[in-house]
Amino acid sequence: MTTTAFFLVAILALGFLITFQIAKASEYVSVLKGEKKAIEQSNKVNAFLMVVFLLVGLVGVWYCNELFVNKTLLVVPSASDHGEQIDFMLKITLAITGFVFLLTQILLFWFAYKYQAKEGKKAFYFPHSNKLELIWTTVPAIALCVLVGFGLYYWFQITGEAPKDAIQVEVTGQQFSWIFRYPGKDNEFGRKYFANIDNSTNVLGLIYKDTAVDKLDKNRNVIGKTDLKGDPATHDDIVLTQTMYIPKDQPVKLIIGSRDVIHDVGLPHFRLKMDAVPGTPTTLWFTPKYTTDEMKKITGNPDFEYEISCDQMCGNGHYSMKGVIKVVTKQEYLLWKAQQKPAYASFAPAEAPAASTDTAKKMAVVSDLKAAVTKN
Sequential DSSP letters for 41-69: HHHHHHHHHHHHHHHHHHHHHHHHHHHHG
Mean pLDDT of 352-373: 50
Is residue 326 in some structural domain?
Answer: yes
Query: Quick one: pLDDT band at residue 45, thresholds 50, 70, 90?
Result: confident
Is residue 78 in some structural domain?
Answer: yes
Give the pLDDT of residue 26: 66
Give the pLDDT of residue 9: 79
Structural domain for 339, as ranges: 167-204+235-347
Q: Are residues 281 and 321 in the same domain?
A: yes
Residues forming beta bridges with residue 264, ordered by sequence position: 275
Q: Are residues 318 and 340 in the same domain?
A: yes
Is residue 148 in some structural domain?
Answer: yes
Q: Specify the DSSP element, H or E, that contains 284.
A: strand 282-286
Cα–Cα dist 156/149, whole Å: 11
Give the pLDDT of residue 308: 93
Is residue 319 in some structural domain?
Answer: yes
Q: How many CA atoms lie within 13 A of 78 on its CB side?
A: 18
Q: DSSP letter for 236, please.
A: G
Q: Are residues 171 and 311 in the same domain?
A: yes
Q: Is the CB of residue 234 less than 8 Å from the CB of residue 344?
A: yes
Mean pLDDT of 127-140: 87
pTM of the model: 0.74
User: In terms of Cα–Cα distance, which of 167, 146, 203, 166 is closest to 347?
Assistant: 203
Mean pLDDT of 280-296: 93
Burial 70-98 (b: 16+ CB within 10 A, else e): eeeeeebebbbebbebbbebeeeeeeeee
Q: Are residues 109 and 138 in the same domain?
A: yes
Q: Are residues 141 and 196 in the same domain?
A: no
pLDDT in tens, 305-347: 999 999 989 889 999 999 999 999 999 999 999 888 888 887 7
65: pLDDT strictly greater than 90:
no
| DSSP H helices in 69-129 | 81-114
Is residue 229 in some structural domain?
Answer: no
Q: Is the CB of residue 272 less than 8 Å from the CB of residue 289?
A: no
Q: Are residues 244 and 152 in the same domain?
A: no
Q: Specify the DSSP element, H or E, that contains 24.
A: helix 3-33
Is residue 364 in some structural domain?
Answer: no
Q: Are residues 187 and 335 in the same domain?
A: yes
pLDDT in tens, 71-101: 888 888 999 988 898 999 888 888 988 998 8
Q: Is the CB of residue 330 less than 8 Å from the CB of residue 248?
A: yes
Cα–Cα dist 308/288, whole Å: 14
Q: Are residues 284 and 192 in the same domain?
A: yes
Q: Are residues 99 and 173 in the same domain?
A: no
29: pLDDT strictly greater than 70:
no
Is residue 257 in some structural domain?
Answer: yes
Q: Are residues 177 and 295 in the same domain?
A: yes
- Strand, coil or helix: what is 160? coil
The CATH number that applies at residue 343 is 2.60.40.420
How many domains is the chain partitioned into structurally?
2
Q: Is the CB of residue 226 less than 8 Å from the CB of residue 243?
A: no
Q: Are residues 112 and 198 in the same domain?
A: no
User: In terms of Cα–Cα distance, which of 277, 279, 220, 270 is closest to 246?
Assistant: 270
Cα–Cα dist 263/72, whole Å: 24
User: In terms of Cα–Cα distance, which of 288, 286, 325, 287 is closest to 160?
Assistant: 286
Q: Are residues 182 and 65 in the same domain?
A: no
Is residue 15 in some structural domain?
Answer: no
Cα–Cα dist 14/266, whole Å: 40
pLDDT in tens, 148-181: 998 899 889 898 888 988 999 999 999 889 999 9
28: pLDDT strictly greater than 90:
no
